[in-house]
Each structure stands twice: as C-alpha cells, then as structure tokens.
Structure 1
Amino acid sequence: MAYSCGFYAWSIPAVGPNKFREIGKTNFTRIVPMPNTHKWSIAHDHTLVSIPLKKDNHSPELGSFTDEFYNEHAQKLKEVKHVFSKLGEDAMESMMMIDAIQRLGIDHHFEEEIEAVLQKQYMKSSIHGDCDEDLYEVALRFRLLRQEGYTVPADVLNNFKNKEGKFKQNLREDIRGLMGLYEASQLSIGEDILEEAGNFSSLLLNACLQHLDHHQAAVVKNTLEHPHHKSLARWWKDLGLTEELKFARDQPLKWYMWPMAIIPDPRLSEQRIELTKPISLIYIIDDIFDVGGTLDELTLFTEAVNRWDLSAFKELPEYMKMCFKTLDDITNEISTKVHKEHKWNPVGSLRKAWASLCNAFLVEAKWFASGHVPKAEEYLKNGAVSSGVHVVLVHLFFLLGHGITKENVDLVDDFPGIISSTATILRLWDDLGSAKDENQDGHDGSYVECYLKEHRGSSVENARQIVAHMISDMWKRLNKECLSPNPISTSFTKGSLNIARMVPLMYSYDDQQCLPGLEEHMKSLLLENLPYRNAQKINE
C-alpha cells in the first residue's frame, strides 16, 4: 500500500536526520521515522488502474523504470524483514518498527511479525500491568494494541498523574512522549482520561511550537493536525469497502492524485485529504452501478439516497448498506467541519449533489439494461452529471470556505457553467479513452457510440474528431467562465481549471489499460527531486 507513504511524506517536510537536535530528553529522529523516497512504488496490490501494470514493449524506458521499481521495492522489503528479525526482545525498538511500517503503509507484508510482537506486549501489560516510566513507550504500546483491536484499559496512563489526579507538569519537557500521548488519545471510546490526555498534550505541544525551529515545529504541528489514527490511509484501510466490494476499483493513489492537482497549495493539506474521501466514493458507487447491482437494487439504492434514509436500505445487499453508511458518515463529518470553520452547514447541498449523481448513474444503468442507445446530446447532458465533477466541486467549494453566501450556494448547487464545462471535458475525454475502436463493448456507453448510432455511415475516426473539437469548444467556454465577473472565489475557479487540466493524464489509457502519462507525472512529483535532496543532505 505504497500510497500511504505519499500521504505521510507530503504531510512532513523531507529533511535530513541531523536537522533534528535533542529536545528535552528526546531525539526527533526517533519521533518520526522518515520515509525513504526509494521505497515509494506503485505496489502490485494497489495499481493505478484495475489490472496489474504490465511492461509496454513500445515504451522500454517506462518498462525498465517499472521493473526497477518493483525489484527495488522487493529488495527493501527483504531488508526490513531482516532488520525486524534482529530486534529480538527489545520491546521499544520492535514497537517503533511497527509504527514506522504502518505509517509507510507496508504493514500487510509483516502481519506475522507484527502480531507476534503485539501479542507479547499484550501479555506483558495484562499480567504485569504497564509500569514503565517512559510516557512515549506506554502511549505507543497502548495505541498500537488498541488500534489492532486488543482490549487495553486507558488507565495505564494514570501512572503519569500526580496525587491531585492531574497529568504531571514535568511531562512538558518530554516532547516525544507528549506526541505519543496525543496520538494515543485519538483512540478514545469515551474514557475521561483519554479526553484529558488529548487536551493536556495538545495544550503543551501547541505552547512549545514557538520555541522549536522550523523543522521541529513542522513535525509537531503535523502530529496535531494529522494524527496517524485519523490519517487518510488509515481511514481507507479501516473502511473495509474493498473487502466487501470485491468488484470495485481499489485505486487510492489515483484518487489522491486528483486533489493534489485540484488544490496544490501546500497550506491546503487538510482540504486535500477531505476531498479524497468523496472522490473515492464516486469511483466506488460508479462500480456498484456498472458491475455490482441488479437494476431493481440500483433503483432502490437511488431512491434511498434521494430520501437519505438509512431504513430504506433494509432490503438491499450488505455492501450497499455499507456503502451508504460510509457516504452518510463522510457527508456528516465534512458538514460538521465546514460548519465549525465557516459557520455554514452544507449537508443539504452535499446530499443533493450525491442524489443527482446516483440519478444520473441510474439513467445509464436503465439504458444499458434495455439496450437503448440515447441521442448523443441526451447522453452528454446526463454524462456530465455522472462524471462526478459536480460532486467534487461542491465539496471543494465548501472545504475552501470562500464566499459562502446563499446566492453562491444556490449557484454551485445548480450546476453552473464553470462546473458543467469542466464536467463535459472530463466526460468526453473519458469517452475517447473507452472508444478507441469499433470493437468496444459499450458497457458504459460513450458519446462516440451514441453519435455513430445517430449518424449512420459516419466513421469512428470522424466521430472522434468531432469529440476532440467539442472538447476544444468546452475549454473555450471554461476559459470564458473564469474570465467573466465571478462571485465565486479564485481558488474555486483554479480548482475547476485544474480538474480539466488533469483529465488527459487520468484518461489517456494505453493498449494495456494503463496510464503511463499519470505514472510519469507521479514519477516527477515523487522522485525527480532526489538529486536535490541528496545534495542537501551532503551539505548539511
């Protein structure tokens, strides 16, 4: 699961280890295990597309690059396993190793080793209690055990309280311990002591920020803003949707590339993470309509989303119930955050956008089930909605929080030109990718297919040229929308443009249904700065 390595690396500045000096009684190189860029790879179980990446004989450089990546990835895993085996009885080193492996998202390669360590730690704490005096070790053991489902009491933290029942003030000197305590507090199931731990550690860590250098402060701030238990990688893994929906795409790296392109501002890390959640569900729900459900089930699913009624899902398959529950949770979570930060509850707008998307998916499902090929114009009007762009940009509008007024909310809700232009560009590009020849199966339908049905005698090549011309016209319309006096913020306008810019990378499939352009883009983002970083380390 190499994608989570990316999330972690983008959250934490990449700096040489010797940048971290001693703070109190801790060393920052021990606090945050920094990912090695060479370990980033497109792992075979989380490819960018639905099938494993294959070597393209027409692109030897890309093929050799991919092969080298896989070989180096495998070698690194062997090295980590060897290091793990050498840790022996050192409980602290073993737990820190587990933490690093989980943050890198490669823990599925070490399930037996991790289970053996955690079982031993659980037995130790169950039989002897947790009498260690090191706050970081106790907090780390508690977090690792609880997040893996072990029943461990939070009162192990009572050892760090004074006679008055308050956390000891001398802990303020232990930055690493406070970070561990804050991370542990995120696994609360309602215990008062964990609430106290979270408040106490947060207060002291925030207070210490002004006394740390830039790099040290960035690490502490990252912990406060993005604790591991609530990170995107952990969120996606814990959802379990890919286990329940075996037919659905599992492409978290690709999904995260969208918000990276839409809002590249480094200050908007939290918004990127939140935006990835609805994007992932667009893909999942699309697969439910394309592959997973019967027409009757899809009709009931759509009706339930329109009413936003959990009870309406009683007769539906378990995976549909699970999907809607996730959709409801994400919608409520994002609405709560927006309301807290921008004093506007967007839940009505978000639900309306999801309902429109499902309605459009259902229209396409009915067309396919009946064998009906719609008029090209009718197809495109519905296809712009089923592209999912409206859902993404409605979420973006509220997450950015700029210019939230009733007038602007009504404008965004109603699929304005700046959104419909972008959506149409995506839909037409997608159709070009899925209609490369006359032998396409047509399961998803395409504008080319509808055009050929409507214009007998026209060639595929001619239809594709018309689509390319339409994309050009849509770009002109989008440019005009961005230049016109616009009540919506510049950040939102740029986000719409960036979706359109990203589309060619996301939908230019090769003959093996891979995305070499996207892989090259990722390579440039994640790897091509290596010489610079290595030079930095030499000079430090």
Structure 2
Amino acid sequence: MKPTLTQEDPMESLILVDAIQRSGIGHHYREEIHTILTHYYTKNPRDSSSSTIHDAALSFRLLRQQGCHVSAEVFNNFKGKFRGEVRQDITGLLELYEATQLGFEGENILVEAEDFSSKLLHKCTQETEYSKWSRHINTRLKHPCHKSITRFTETNNFLVRSDLRGSGVNRWEKPLMELAEVELLLAKPIYQEELLQVHKWWDGLGLTTELKLARNQPIKWYTWSMTGLINDIRLSKQRIELTKSIAFIYLIDDIFDLYGTPDELAIFTEAVDKWDYAAIDMLPEYMKMSYKALLDTTNEIARMIFEKHGHNPINTLKETWASLCKAFSVEAKWFAGGDLPRAEEYLANGKVSSGVHVALVHLFYILGLGGTQNQGAILLEENSTLISSVAAILRLSDDLGSAKDEQQNGKDGSYVEYYMRDNHGLSFKQALEHVINMIASEWRLLNKECFDVNHYSPTLSFYREACLNLARMVSLMYSYDDNQRLPVLEEYVDFMLLKPKSIEQIKS
C-alpha cells in the first residue's frame, strides 16, 4: 500500500497519513508522508474560517509533528464556537483534544482548547446519547496518540473503533492494522532473541547473587530500550547495549537505597568519579563486583562506539555515571539526616537521579551522534532541554503514584510532599493538580524541542523520536494498581514480546 495525495480532497490524504501513523508503521512511509504533508502545507491555507474543527485540528497536528511551522492561532477562529456547535461534533472534539497535545509553552489557546474539549468529552461519556462512544472517548482521553505507544494502544482499541465505522473511522484502518500485525509478528522473534541475550549477560554478571535485594528485572529494562528504538528493527545491538546501561541505573539506585551506609555511599561515589579499576580496593566487598561490572560494561560500550563510528565517548559516559551517583548521594543525605529539601531543589536533583540523562547520553552516542568530542558536546548541549524535560516527566510522574516499585522497599522523596511543605495550607488535591500541570508544561517544552525545527540530520531526528518514545513509556512504567502491580505494562510486554494477539484473536 502506497499513500498518495488526493487532489480532489486533500483532507482524505491527511486522514490516510493519520491512519498510517496510528497503526505504528509510519516509519515505512516517511518519504511519502513528507511529500503529502509538504504539498498540503504549501497549497492549503491554515487560517481559513471555513474549515471544520476536525479538519483544522487534524492538519495542525500532522503538520506540527512533521516540523512545519504552523501557528496555534488558527484555533482562534473557533473560540466563539467552543460554546456552540462544536459541542455536538464528537469527532471534532476528539481531534481538537489530540491536537492540543502538541502545544508549545505559551500557546494559551491550546491550553484553553484542551480544557474545554476534555471536559466536554468526559461529560459525553456520561450521557446516554453518546453511550456507544464512551469506550472510544475514554481511551482517547487516557491515551492521546501523541503521548502513547500507538502500535499498542491503537491495536487494543481496534474493535471499539470498528463499532464506530461510518462515524469517522476511515476505510484504511483494517488493512493497516493487519500490516502492523504482520510487522510485529516478524519483529517478535528478534525482540525475543535480544531479550535472551540481555538475560544471559545479566545472569553472567552474577550481581543478584551478591545483592539479593536488588531488582532483577531484565524484561522491564529491555522494554525501555525496545520502545525507544522500536521503529528500526535493525538496531538490535543498540537496544541491547542501551539496556545494559539502564540495568546499572536500577542497580546503583538499589545500592544507594537498600544497601549502603552514608560513608560507604560516599566511597562508592568517589570511586565512580575516579573511574579507575584501582579504586576497587577502597570499596566494601559487596560493592566491588558491581563497580567492576559498571566499568567493564561502559568501557565496552565506548569501545563498540569507537569501532563503529570512529570516536570514543568514554569521558562523557563516565561523567554521566558520576553525576548520577552524586545525585543519589544528595538524596541519601537528605533522607538520612532529615534535612529535607525544598520542592524545586528536590526536582532539580531528582531529574539527575532519575537516570534519564545517563540513558539518553548513552543512546546519543550509541546511535552514532557526536562525530568528534567537541561536536558531541555541542549537540548534547543543544539537546539538554529535551533530556531535562523527559527527566522531569519521569520524575514527576513517578512521584504522582501512591505505590512504589513492587520490589522497592527503601526510602524515596516526593515532589508532592515537599511542595505541600513549601506551601502551607495547600491541600493534597491542589498539590496533585500542580504536579499534573507541571508535567503538561514539560511536555510542551519537549514538543518545542522536537517539532519546532526541521533541519536536523535524520539520525538526530531519530534520536529525538526515541526520546519521545521514552517519555511515552512513563505512563506504562508508573501506572501501579492497588496491588502494587503494573497491569498495563504487563499487557504491553505480552503484546510486544510474549503473546501478541492478532486482529482475529482480538475479535474472538
């Protein structure tokens, strides 16, 4: 199937592009999608008051995520209608809500449109008149396509959308979902083999024998990497190496949270900063094997990058590990001494202790970016806001959850708790709303970094897409239920790795 531009009805072409991207196979049609959207961008006005809210919102969303310069001011044409006929247009409201997810900071019209559309859609789910739409609306509100792993969420919602066929579900959906199913069936054995290699590597280190309380979750660690690099099945080595780095983020977190005394943690942090095998002798016995494995693994990753891309990023990589340990040390001192931080101080440190910087810097070089040390430093600096926003989304989302990791029994801080302490008289509900707004603001900053330019190399664009995918994974990784389990994550792992259901199985 090759998407083409419909001259008679350009909107049909945009609906096709949307269907392709929702199916999770847009990476196969990058050139065709670029051609369609570039043609639409140059030939169609975006300030026309004759557009429907559905068409204006769909074109805005697709063009913005393509990197085209489109203004949110187009929605000013509909402000008068926000209280009028738009209320009766469910498909328009849904598309408007989806479009607002790509807002930049300062675009107040999109904040207003998101608030209006979400409230009205929630209201529709409670009205008999729209009962057949309820499941579909709830899914879209909870999992807007921009902030979700579309291959997973769209396939699981296939039957719901099928029930609405003729009410905005396009005719390409079924064949595209079947094509996505075939691609996943081809990819699954590759993912399974990669996971097997990760298991063998991790088991071979023997660290869980040394640290029995530490988390032993290779599937979870690999899922981060698999999802970040999901759009290129050929990147097996890259997914495996990134998983190794993520595994050590979790391991070091557990060493600080569950094992080390303040003095031992200070020695471990000093050793990581030295990055020298001779420093092993200064460590307690239970830390020695982990420290050596960290150096071995990271040095091997740097060597692989040098052999493949001609530059060795070891200095930058080891700096990220030192920064992580220093951030963990700061938290350990706070919690041990009872001298708790202010909310903003906690968040600044927490973005580092989240490990996002470690993972994304490793990913940056694993993908071949940063051809020389200076170029690498410059490009990393240019992407610092992107990395910071992903880290803030993860840290704040983690702190929103009332349950901690099912195997994590140590002490953790909470931005919500510290924000309430800094603002006496604030209710828990008000603090939660503040954090939710902060996460939304970080998403707008992330959008700005990813979509406001269109002149970067394909590799850097791919890197930014991977960063987006990691941010999209946050809602899966921290959606604990009352039993301290992650049912949505478990379903995702089954779908992608273990038991992906075909469309026919979903129907049955």
Q: Structure 1 pair 391/482, CA: closer, same or farther in 2 (3 Å)?
A: same
Q: Secondary structure at the match of 1:514?
A: coil
What amino acid does structure 1 have at the position aligned with 2:319?
K
CA offsets, 1:195-214, max 9 Å, x none?
xxxxxxxxxxxxxxxxxxxx
**2:220 matched to 1:254?**
yes
**2:421 matched to 1:456?**
no
List gaps (5 residues or longer) in structure 1: 1-217, 535-540
CA offsets, 1:153-211, max 9 Å, x none?
xxxxxxxxxxxxxxxxxxxxxxxxxxxxxxxxxxxxxxxxxxxxxxxxxxxxxxxxxxx
Q: Secondary structure at the match of 1:337?
A: helix
Give matches, 1:293-304, under 5 Å.
293-304=260-271
Give matches, 1:154-233, under 5 Å.
231-233=197-199
RMSD between aligned alpha carbons?
2.9
Shift of 1:315: 3.6
Which position in structure 2 is the counterpart of 1:503? Answer: 474
CA contact (8 A) 2:403 2:480 kept: no
Which position in structure 1 is the counterpart of 2:117? Answer: none
Give matches, 1:473-492, under 5 Å.
473-485=441-453, 489-492=460-463
Percent sequence identity is 53
Give matches, 1:262-273, under 5 Å.
262-264=228-230, 265-273=232-240
What amino acid does structure 2 have at the position aligned with 1:515?
L
Which position in structure 2 is the counterpart of 1:245? Answer: 211
CA contact (8 A) 1:421 1:477 kept: yes
What amino acid does structure 1 have at the position aligned with 2:217?
Q
Alpha-carbon distance between aligned partners in 2 of 1:508 and 1:408, rounded to the nearest angstrom: 38
Alpha-carbon distance between aligned partners in 1 of 2:451 and 2:372, rounded to the nearest angstrom: 21
Which position in structure 2 is the counterpart of 1:519? Answer: 490
CA contact (8 A) 1:408 1:487 kept: no
Which position in structure 2 is the counterpart of 1:173? Answer: none
Which of 487-496 and 371-380 deviates more? Answer: 487-496
Shift of 1:411: 3.6
Alpha-carbon distance between aligned partners in 2 of 1:227 and 1:260, rounded to the nearest angstrom: 9
CA offsets, 1:215-242, max 9 Å, x none?
xxx99x98xxx899x9322111111111
What amino acid does structure 2 have at the position aligned with 1:252?
P
What amino acid does structure 1 have at the position aligned with 2:285?
E
Give matches, 1:111-150, under 5 Å.
none
CA offsets, 1:481-529, max 9 Å, x none?
1123475711110111111000010011112111011012122224554
Aligned residue pairs total 310
Instruction: Pick from 338, 354, 357 the counterpart of residue 324 of structure 2.
Output: 357
Which position in structure 2 is the counterpart of 1:235? Answer: 201
CA offsets, 1:450-502, max 9 Å, x none?
11111111111111110000000000000001123475711110111111000
Alpha-carbon distance between aligned partners in 1 of 2:396 and 2:504, rounded to the nearest angstrom: 40
Instruction: Pick from 390, 411, 415 the counterpart of residue 422 of structure 1.
Output: 390
List gaps (5 residues or longer) in structure 2: 1-185
Instruction: Pick from 276, 279, 284 the counterpart of residue 251 of structure 2.
Output: 284
Q: Secondary structure at the match of 1:444?
A: coil
Shift of 1:279: 0.3
Q: TM-score of the superposition, structure 1-length normalised?
A: 0.54
CA contact (8 A) 2:194 2:240 kept: no
Alpha-carbon distance between aligned partners in 1 of 2:428 and 2:379, rounded to the nearest angstrom: 36
CA contact (8 A) 1:349 1:413 kept: no
Shift of 1:365: 0.4
CA contact (8 A) 1:274 1:334 kept: yes
CA contact (8 A) 1:431 1:448 kept: yes
What amino acid does structure 2 have at the position aligned with 1:237?
D
Which position in structure 1 is the counterpart of 2:361? Answer: 394
CA contact (8 A) 1:373 1:453 kept: no
